[in-house]
């Protein structure tokens, strides 16, 4: 399957208008998934899991994300929490969270 077909099928799977494109980081991940032969189902699973992590990580202080912090995010999710604000509140101290996210806690 050509890259353009892969993009088109993924757009249809996501119910977005075909040809509108994706944000640059997502488009790069889609292209990388295509290049290594990842199925559209696996790509969708990958992107969902990535979003679960990054939706919390963006509120944490620092420019890097340690394995320990990722494990805390995933552990808190396994306990049934879904929303980033709940995960932040249960899994991280206020000292670890950017101040502009404190009001959401």
Cα–Cα distance for residue pair 15/2, rounded to 1 Å: 20
pLDDT of residue 22: 87
Cα–Cα distance for residue pair 1/19, rounded to 1 Å: 17
pLDDT of residue 104: 77
Cα separation of the two ends of the chain = 45
In degrees and rounded to multiples of 5, residue 15 shows phi and psi of 60, 40
Q: DSSP secondary-structure letter at 19?
A: T
Cα–Cα distance for residue pair 18/8, rounded to 1 Å: 6
105 Cβ contact partners less than 8 Å away, ≥ 6 residues apart: 85, 88, 89, 94, 97
pLDDT of residue 19: 81
pLDDT of residue 18: 77
pLDDT of residue 39: 97
Cα–Cα distance for residue pair 50/40, rounded to 1 Å: 15
10-residue stretch averages of pLDDT, the chain, 105 residues long: 94 83 92 97 95 95 95 96 95 95 85
């Amino acid at each position: 399957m050509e890259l353009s077909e892969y993009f088109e099928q993924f757009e249809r799977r996501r119910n977005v208008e075909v040809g509108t494109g994706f944000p640059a980081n997502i488009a790069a991940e889609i292209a990388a998934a295509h290049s290594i032969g990842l199925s559209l189902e696996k790509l969708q699973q990958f992107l969902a899991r990535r979003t679960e992590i990054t939706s919390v990580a963006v509120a944490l202080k620092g420019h890097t994300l340690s394995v320990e912090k990722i494990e805390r995010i995933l552990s808190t999710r396994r306990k049934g929490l879904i929303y980033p604000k709940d995960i932040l509140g249960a899994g991280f101290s206020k000292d670890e969270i950017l101040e502009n996210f404190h009001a959401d806690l």
